[in-house]
Structures are given as C-alpha cells and as structure tokens.
Amino acid sequence: MGGVHIPYASREKVLQTIDRSFHDRSQIRVAFCNAHTMVSALRSQGYIDTLSHFLVLNDGVGLDLASSLFMGHGFEDNLNGTDLVPEILEKASAPVSIYMLGAKQHVVEEAGRQLAARFPRHRIVGMHHGYLKREDEAGVVAKINASGADLLLVAMGNPRQEQFIDRNAADLSPRVLIGVGALFDFISGTVPRAPQWMRMLRLEWLFRLMIEPRRLGWRYTGGLAIFLVEIMRLRVARMWAKPEDLEREEQNLPKRLRPEN
C-alpha cells in the first residue's frame, strides 16, 4: 500500500521466522504498522524507504480495513507488538539475551524487572532510556554490542525507533531488532492495557483514547480520517494500474515478503 509492503503472514510463521534468526545469525528488523504508522509513511518517502528494510507486520483494525479494500480480505492474525514480543520470548527455542532501549529510565528499568520475572530463562543484559541525541547513538550502540544481546527492543515510537534501527543496523550485533512502541509503558504498568474483552473485540484503540484523550485524540479521529482518505485514493489508483505495473511491484518485494514465502 503506497510502497509499504506488509505480508499476509500467520502468527506462527512470523514466530518461526524471528526464532530462526537467533540461530542462523541472519539479522532481521521488525516493525509494526498501524493506521498512524501508515499515514506517517504516506507523508514521507524517507520513512517508506526505511520500512523497506523491515519485516513490517499488521497492527490493528485499520490495517484490516485497508486490506479488505485492497484485497477483499483482512489479515489472518493481528500482529501487534504488545502481544507478539512476549510470545516471541515465550516460544523461543533457546534462551535469549535482551537489551532494552527506550522510554524514560525508570520506566525501562521497571519494564526490565517485570520482563525478567515473567521470563526467567532469558536474560536482560542492558537497559538505556530512549532520549538520545544523534551524537549519543554510537556510544549506545557500543554498549548494546558489549552486552552480547541477541534481541534489541527499541521503544521510541515511530518513526524514531525504525529510523534508529535502520541507521545503526549494520553496526549492531543483535540478530533481531524490533521497534516496540509503547511496550515498555505497558509492561512496567505505567500505562494500563485494555481489558481482555476489549482486546478480543479489537477495541483497544478506544480504551487508549479514553485514558489518553489529549495525546491520542487527533490520532484516533482526524488521523483516522486522513488514513481512510489516503487508502481510498491508493485503492482507486490501483484499480487503474496496468497488470505489468502490479507484477513489477511484486517482483520488487524483498524475497522474504513475496507470496510464495
């Protein structure tokens, strides 16, 4: 959609792909795309270029709606980071060492304590707040590499977290690099999650709007309207696209995102 490639991948396939990277030492970058992320990307070719280096996973009902408009069906699973990252750790085939980067220092420290208690077979090998200047990044990258981490979780919000990962991926030794958004806030208890019944009904966005109306009000009202307009514009453009253009677009996908994979 508009240059952002999101595979129709099952939760099981995604978990297998990420777990394999811990063992074959092939680096993978993972991003989660919701309606807000998509609008940000459609307004910035630079962000689209950044996301082209990531395995981009669908997050939320907005992406399901967009998929239905484009392809006539939604995604098999809702692959939001708040649920998927703990599942990566729960189902990892071997112990994983984790570095946590992002949020305020007291938040990331509490999130680290909670994560360590919940997944004792894994190790938290380092933590750092996410309020970095560009000149700070080389020092933080050195700390991450010195920690021996297998997994780097970056919680800076998008697009900052994906941009940080993309700029530094070549110098980072962890094999799995994930932009996790508000995960540390949820794990630390700083921000409450929606009750399970709301999550089951795909209404977590409504709960977040209720508890953070000033910060999220525009994103879930005006931002959603912009998203829908942009998706309809892209859908109309796709209807008039030539078959050879659509085939060329598919051939330009990274290999891991092509339908046969």
The tens-digit pLDDT sequence of the chain (261 residues) is: 778 899 999 999 999 999 999 998 889 999 999 888 988 888 889 999 999 999 999 998 888 888 887 778 889 999 999 999 999 999 999 999 999 999 999 999 999 999 999 999 999 999 999 999 999 999 999 999 999 999 999 999 999 999 999 999 999 999 999 999 999 999 999 987 777 777 776 767 666 767 777 766 666 565 667 777 777 777 676 666 566 655 555 555 444 444 444
Q: How far apart are the first and last CA of the chain?
A: 19
Question: Do the Cβ atoms of 64 and 80 come closer than 8 Å?
Answer: no
* pTM summary value: 0.83
Burial readout 216-248 (b: 16 or more C-beta within 10 A, e: otherwise): beebbeebbebbbebbeebeeebeeeeeeeeee
Place of tokens 């932009």: 179
> What is the spatial distance between Cα 80 and Cα 84, in angstroms, rounded to a whole number?
6
